[in-house]
């Protein structure tokens, strides 16, 4: 059967070992973070722009204004690579410092078009 004739079920990867790393940082910081993630083993990343809203943006952390424009980095990776990539992201983005951004990992339940095994 040709690739076009395959059903979505046949194209869907077994995803029990896939994770999505999402990182939200101040605008202008994503390029350096994505490079560090790729150096740590990520196959690639998607970066999009967003706008943050909340108490910290209104009041500012420690009296400093926080820019509401954000970059959102999404990286789909295998579970075995997740910790190494997260460590690189935290180190380069200084996420251990309050106000520098957040990162979290979510399980991927279904995926089409990722990784060629």
Quote the CA–CA distance of 37 and 66 in Å, as a whole number: 25
Instruction: Tell me the pTM.
Output: 0.78
More confident residue, 109 or 102: 102
pLDDT digits (tens, 9 = 90+) for 37-57: 999 999 999 999 998 776 655
Structural domain span for residue 58: 27-71+79-102
Within a domain: 18:
no
Within a domain: 93:
yes
Q: How many domains does the chain have?
A: 1
Q: Name the DSSP letter for residue 61.
A: B
Within a domain: 1:
no
Within a domain: 31:
yes
- Which of 12, 50, 36 lies closest to 93, judged by CA? 36
Asked whether 51 and 70 are in contact (CB, 8 A), the reply is: yes
Structure-token match 């896939």, residue found: 18
């Amino acid at each position: 059967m040709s690739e076009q004739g395959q059903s979505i079920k046949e194209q869907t990867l077994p995803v029990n070992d896939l994770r999505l790393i999402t990182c939200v940082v101040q605008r202008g910081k994503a390029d350096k973070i994505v490079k560090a993630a790729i150096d740590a083993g990520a196959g690639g990343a998607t970066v999009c722009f967003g706008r943050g809203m909340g108490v910290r943006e209104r009041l500012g952390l420690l009296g400093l204004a926080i820019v509401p424009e954000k970059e959102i980095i999404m990286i789909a990776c295998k579970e075995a690579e997740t910790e190494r990539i997260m460590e690189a992201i935290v180190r380069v983005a200084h996420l251990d410092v309050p106000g520098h951004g957040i990162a979290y990992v979510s399980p991927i339940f279904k995926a089409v078009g990722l990784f060629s095994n």
